Structure 1
Amino acid sequence: MFQLMSVNFDDYIPNWRTQLETIAYNVLVVVRAGKVRYEINGEEVIAEKEDVLFIPQSTRRSGGNWNDTPHQKHTILFTLDRQEPTGIPFLDAGQFMKFNLTHIQYAYRRCERLYEEMRGGKSYRTMICQGIMQELIGMLARELEKTELAPSKRNYADTIKSYLLEHYRESIEIDALARLIHRSPSYAAALFKEVHGQSPIRYMHQLRVQEACSLLIHSDMSITHIADYLGYYDTSYFYRMFKKHTGFSPSDYVQQHNLL
C-alpha cells in the first residue's frame, strides 16, 4: 500500500523553505513546535503546534518558516499504489487535509520511532516502518470518523486550550479554567478530555515537558533552572513528570538526543 521515500525531523532549522513545485509524492506533516507556512495550490496554510497535514501527490506546494521563526516538525514522504483503492477515505480522495489528533503525544512518539528505524540498518526495518506508517494513517482515518462535536463544545475546549498554551508555566486551577467558559469545574474538565483526549492538567504538564525538551537541547540552562522556569518548584516532581511523559530522565533525554 505505502512506499516510504524518506522520514525527516526538522529541528528549528533557520531559513527553512521548500521551492514552489508540483510534488510527485504524498507528504504527512506533524508539527511539534512553532509555526510553518505553506502555499497549497495557491492558498496560504499556516500549520502550528499539534497540527497534522496531509499533502497529496500532484499538489502545487511551497513552504517556509512563518515570520522567519524556526519550527519543529516531522515530515513523512511516501507514495501509494494507485492501481487499487487503499480503503482509507482521505488517501483515496487525494485532497489536502488538516487534522488535529486526540492522541498527539503518541503520534509524536511513533514519528520518532519511524525516523530512528528509517535511519538505521537493523533487520526487519522495512516491515517495522510499514507497520508504524499504517498505524499513523489508521489513527488519522479513525479521527475523521468520530462524530462531530457540537460547535459550542469545540469552542469551549479551544478557549481552555488557548489559555493553557499561554499560561502553562503558571499554576493552573480547574476552577479558573471553568470560569473562562462560565461552566462548573467538573463540566470544564470532562469537556476538555472529551475533545482533546486528556485532562487540562495533564495537557499543562505535556506543554511544560515539551518546552523542557527544547530547553535541554537548545539552551545552557541547568535542569534545576528549567524546572523552576516551567513552574516546578520541586525538582524531584519535575523529574517524575518528565519521565512520565517521555520515558527518560532529563539527563538521559539529552544523552539520547546526542546519539542521534
Structure 2
Amino acid sequence: MNRPMAQATTLAWKAQKLIRTQYHRPLSTALLARELYCNADYLGRVYRRVFHLTLTEAIHRQRVREAEKLLISEARSLTEVAALCGFNDVGYFRQIFQKHTGLTPAAWKRRYSKEHINS
C-alpha cells in the first residue's frame, strides 16, 4: 500500500475509533474532522472508501447498537436511552432506530427483553 493510501486508511480508523468511543457526544463529520485535524470532505471520502459507509451512517449504526443494548439490559425511559446514545430528539431517535432495526425502540424492547429473560 502506498504511503498516502496508508495514511488515509489510518485516518479512517481513527475516525472509527472516535465514533465507537464518543457516540454519546454530539458528533458530525465536521466535528470529527476538527478532532482529527483534517478537512471534513476529505475525511468523509476516505472513511467511505475504507468502510463503505458515510460517517453519518456509521455514527447512527453505533448509536443504534448501543441503544439496543440499553433497551434490553436496563430499565430506562426512551428519552434517557436516546440521550445516552447521543440523540437530542426522541422522535429522530425512533426514526433512525426503526430504519436500522426494522422495529421501533418499544417493539425492540418487547421482543428482545423476553428473549433475554428466557435465555
The answer, yes or no, to whether TM exceeds 0.5 is yes
Q: TM-score range by the shorter chain?
A: 0.7 to 0.9
- What TM-score do the two structures reach when normalised by structure 1? 0.41
Higher relative contact order (CA 8 A, sep 6+): 2
Structure 2, unaligned runs of 5 or more: none
* Larger Rg computed on CA atoms: 1
Distance of 1:222 and 1:181 partners within structure 2 = 34
Partner of 1:171: 26
Partner of 1:209: 64
2:98 aligned with 1:235, yes or no? Answer: no
- What TM-score do the two structures reach when normalised by structure 2? 0.84
Distance of 1:233 and 1:182 partners within structure 2 = 26
Partner of 1:19: none
RMSD: 1.8
Structure 1, unaligned runs of 5 or more: 1-147
CA contact (8 A) 1:168 1:208 kept: yes
Looking at secondary structure, tell me which structure has more strand per residue: 1
CA contact (8 A) 2:47 2:55 kept: yes
Q: 1:181 to 1:226 in 2, by over 3 A?
A: closer
Q: 1:173 to 1:254 in 2, by over 3 A?
A: closer
SS of 1:171's partner is coil
Question: Which of 183, 196, 216 lines up with 2:51 in the alignment?
Answer: 196
Distance of 1:252 and 1:176 partners within structure 2 = 33
CA contact (8 A) 1:159 1:180 kept: no
Length, aligned pairs only: 113
Q: In percent, how many aligned pairs have the same letter?
A: 25
Looking at secondary structure, tell me which structure has more helix per residue: 2
CA contact (8 A) 1:157 1:191 kept: yes
